[in-house]
Amino acid sequence: MFNDFFDTWKNVNDALKLSNKWRQIVFYSEGSWLTNHIAPIIKELVDHRGKKVTFFTSERNDQIILKNCDNFKSIFIGNQSARTYLFRKFYANLMIMSTPNLQSMQLKRQNESRYFYLHHSPCSTHMIYNENAFDDFDGMFCIGNYHEKEVRERERNLSLNKKVLLKSGYPNFDSLKNKNYKKGNKDTILIAPSWGENSITNLCLFELVSNLINLKKNIILRPHNRSFLVDNKKLRKVINYFKKNEFFSIDRDSSSSKSMNHSELLITDWSGISFEYILQKKPILFIDVPPKVNNKNYHEISHIPLESSMRSDVGEIVSEKEIINLNLDELDSKISNAKLKISKNNEFISKNFYNFGKSVNVICDQIEQLK
């Protein structure tokens, strides 16, 4: 703890002495779970375009493997007072980050810097995020037209200054699009909850896993990273009870697609993993638990959040009570219904997402133009 304190303050003081060439393109990440989304963009900029990039991270062991390290500075700034001080004092021509709530939390703007938000999930902007989560950003790399519509409507409603909204896309789709997906094990189910009090982790995870194991299904549990912080008691109960069961395994690597590849069915609540699973052309069951709402006024935006509207388009919705009591025939029936939706996946993708499969290059072009 003391080492982190002294190291972060030393690193911040060194960062404030950086020359102008290291302030043109700057990224910030809270940790590896967000860096996974940022890394492909940094690699393209540094390794293939010869750009200098400064990368601030709050996780000591957060790493990006690059060929051209001479054009890259990675600086550990922690998540305490040193980070707050850096954000107030460090001028960046362009600061790109996937942490919302700029200005309203610990991360305050430096007056002359420009701040752009890069989404780490294709979810809409107005329900799962705080109401003013994006108000203080100068711009946004939009994943789809729905982001533009939501942000512009909020700006009109509140007479906010117009942001720069870029037609960017979702970098995670680039690598997933070109993968040769193999058929998973038909008896393997991936359970990937979101986090929070209304997630299946808190509401029915133990009963769900227990019922599916009784049906001789192999279960891969992929918890949300934040569940180990906010849902830890319920999550640990499940892990500790089933960890020696031959039908149970856990996947803590949110950057990997192995568990998606190995499974033949996804069961989730409101997790953003469903957006990526549709590329596998495999069925999805959505458990009908209350959505995660961090903006009680989200209805003031006329557009239905994409994470709500998509559920009936790409999967089958099942009640909490029903899912924990399904017998094998009932489960097979739900899976069959969900499979009928798979044919609509390509239409859903082309309708909602910009630059599918090529967004990293598009975003890098946009960064160069902004610079």
pLDDT at 2: 57
pLDDT at 138: 98
Element (DSSP H or E) covering residue 316? strand 316-318
CB 16 within 8 A of CB 87: no
pLDDT in tens, 293-339: 999 999 999 999 999 999 999 999 999 999 999 999 999 999 999 99
pLDDT above 90 coverage of the chain, percent: 81
| pLDDT of 178 over the 70 cut | no
pLDDT in tens, 23-44: 999 999 999 989 999 999 999 9
> Poorest-confidence range of 99-103, 164-168, 195-199?
195-199
| pLDDT of 230 over the 80 cut | no
Element (DSSP H or E) covering residue 286? strand 284-287
Instruction: Residue 330: name the closest of 233, 227, 215, 238 by CA.
Output: 215
Domains belonging to the chain, first-starting first, are: 11-170+354-370 (3.40.50.11820), 180-352 (3.40.50.12580)
Q: pTM, whole model, 2 decimals?
A: 0.91
pLDDT at 180: 63
- Which neighbouring-strand residues pair with 55? 27, 74
CB 98 within 8 A of CB 120: yes
pLDDT at 85: 97
> Poorest-confidence range of 182-186, 249-253, 293-297, 361-365?
182-186
Mean pLDDT of all residues in 223-248: 90
Assign 182 a pLDDT band (cuts: 50, 70, 90).
low
